[in-house]
Amino acid sequence: MARERRIRGGLEARERRLALLMLAPAFTIVFLVVLFPVLANFWISLKEVRLGDLRAPTAVLRERVVSEPEEPGDHFVLNYLLRNSSPRGPITNVRIDATLPPGLEPVAIDERCRVEAGALSCDLGRWEGGHIGRLELEFLAGPDFFEAQLDERSPTDAHISGRPIGVLGSLDFTLENFRHVLSGSEFWPAFWVTIVYTVGGSVFSILLGLFAAQLLNASFPGQGLLRGLFLFPYIAPVIAVAFTWAFFLDPFSGSLNLLAVEHGIFDRPISFLSQRNVDFNLFGVAFEVPLALSTVIAFEAWRYFPFAFLFILARFQAMPKDMFEAAEVDGATPFQQFRWVTLPQLVGVLSTLFLLRFIWTFNKFDDIFLLTGGAAGTETLTIRVYDYAFAQANIGAGAATAVILFIILAIFMVLYFKFVPEEA
């Protein structure tokens, strides 16, 4: 009995070890590139970091000969010009090592430096960010000095070393980034644009997908081909289709505007991607429609309807046919069948789709960035992250925006896992 249990225990332990071994590589890379950066984001968002601070601070040394001896007995005066390359990151354990040319006797050297057997070494300790300094060294030149060739640019072949502490590594935290982001005039408009864009993009892509799935939910020759065609917008590289849309809609050379103006549909060219609003007059009531935002939403609906289409089509094909037959016998018209038989069975897949699309559209960066660059009222939170971090070189504020984005998203993810059954 005990022996058997021991054997089984040993097998289980081996299985556990094997499992961990097999999962380790995948887990490591995902942790390093996905989970760790998310944590790092929180860290960076609590620091005031600029793009320029990312390069590790280095200690820089330049030698300058101040006074050159003419004959033995003269003084040789040398300066070391010192600089911390980073305006903010400190460097610790800064140290200089140099080899003196032969025939030099130290006269006056800095107290932090020592000369031993023709070698000069200086311990300079810690430099704060932006440190600038100078070391003056004075030697008496003996006859040997004039024998050797002197390298004018670095007569002592000095090397400087030090351990940099990047801005990221320090332990000072601040909430300044969050204050800056939340009090900026761009945050709330960007938040609302994101919501409109996300809801609009999700709803329209799902509606289009539902319509498309209805069309192909029948067997006819060419159905497979059509299904493949319908996926085109989704599998094409975003950069190719975004540039194609932008070119097609261009107010000056785009075909749509040229055609519409020629046929008198527009009075003058409309720049769909760079005009914030357009006035509509419907039955005497004037409307203002956000034009660029609507265009971007249309792009989103166009590009992602195939995703909804595939899911809904798969659901359609899993629906039992007899329910429809029964409904038809009972005299239900096609629209009634759709309303009372089809739609209830779609609720699950439609809500899953909505949540998925909502989360992914909320995250979207490429599409808007390539179409409008965030201009004309299409600036979403993701564009703000980019704008702070890379256009304004304020990495800290970018990370803070990303953290806010991530927190909002986490709420949606919780919702998703609460409401969507595991095998949906």
Partner 1 sequence: MQRVSSAVPARSGRGIGTGLVAAAVVGVASALTTVLVSAFLLSILTRFEPRLELGWPLLLGLALGAGIGIFRRGKNSSRAATLSLGLAAALVWLLLNALDPLELGAAGLHWSLVAAFGSMLLAAQLTRYGLRDIDLSNLRRDRLEVILLRLLRGAGFVFFLTIVIFPFYFMVVSSLKPRALYLQDPTLLSVDFGRGLSELLVGYREVLVRFDFAHYILNSTTVALATVVITLTLAILGAYAVTRLRFPGRGVLSRSILLIYMFPAIVLVVPLYSIFTQVGLRDTLYGLLIVYPATTIPVALYMLRSYFQTLPADLEEAGLIDGCTRAGVIWRITLPLSLPAIASVGLYVFMIAWNEFLFAFMFLDSPELFTLPRGMVNLNSQEVPRQFLMAGAVIVTVPVMVLFFWFERYLVGGLTAGGVKG
- Residues of this chain, 133-172, that bind partner 1 according to CB under 8 A: 166, 168
Among positions 221-260, residues that touch partner 1 (CB under 8 A) are: 224, 226-241, 243-245, 247-248, 253, 255, 258-259
Long-range CB pairs of 116-120 (<8 Å, 24+ gap) are 120/96, 120/156, 120/158
Interface characters, 77-116, with partner 1 (x: CB under 8 A): ----------------------------------------
Single out the segment in contact with partner 1 by CB under 8 A; choices: 10-18, 104-112, 144-152, 272-280.
10-18
- CB nearer to partner 1: pick between 29 and 119: 29
Cβ at position 7, least distance to partner 1 in Å: 15
The whole-angstrom separation of Cα 47 and Cα 212 is 49
- Using the rule CB under 8 A, which residue among 109, 332, 375, 391 binds partner 1? 332
- CB nearer to partner 1: pick between 150 and 332: 332
**For residue 410, what are the CA distances in angstroms to 12, 112, 194, 202, 414?**
36, 54, 16, 18, 6
- Using the rule CB under 8 A, which residue among 187, 266, 354, 386 binds partner 1? 386
Among positions 191-220, residues that touch partner 1 (CB under 8 A) are: 211-212, 214-215
Binding status of residue 316 toward partner 1 by CB under 8 A = no
- Using the rule CB under 8 A, which residue among 363, 375, 391, 393 binds partner 1? 363
Binding status of residue 343 toward partner 1 by CB under 8 A = no
Rounded to 10 degrees, the C-alpha dihedral 413/418/419/421 comes to 100
- CB nearer to partner 1: pick between 220 and 283: 220
Cβ at position 117, least distance to partner 1 in Å: 37
Instruction: Please give the structure tokens belonging to residue 184.
Output: 């900026």
Judge contact between 84 and 114, C-beta under 8 A: no
Judge contact between 89 and 53, C-beta under 8 A: yes
Binding status of residue 340 toward partner 1 by CB under 8 A = no
**For residue 21, what are the CA distances in angstroms to 13, 14, 332?**
12, 10, 59
Across the strands, what pairs with 95?
123, 161
DSSP letter for 48, please.
-
Cβ at position 360, least distance to partner 1 in Å: 6
Write out the DSSP string of 124-192: EEEE-TT-EEEEEEEEEE-GGGGTS---SS-TT--EEEEEE--GGGS----SHHHHHHHHSTTHHHHHH
Cβ at position 239, least distance to partner 1 in Å: 5
- Using the rule CB under 8 A, which residue among 122, 181, 190, 356 binds partner 1? 356
- Using the rule CB under 8 A, which residue among 4, 25, 185, 286 binds partner 1? 25
The whole-angstrom separation of Cα 247 and Cα 242 is 9
Binding status of residue 419 toward partner 1 by CB under 8 A = no
Binding status of residue 181 toward partner 1 by CB under 8 A = no
- Using the rule CB under 8 A, which residue among 310, 341, 375, 391 binds partner 1? 310
How many chain residues bind partner 1 (CB under 8 A)? Answer: 96
Write out the DSSP string of 56-108: PP-EEEEEEEEE--SSTT-EEEEEEEEEESSSS--EEEEEEEEEPPTTEEEEE
Sheet-wide strand order for 75-84: 59-67, 75-84, 132-141, 104-108
Cβ at position 97, least distance to partner 1 in Å: 25
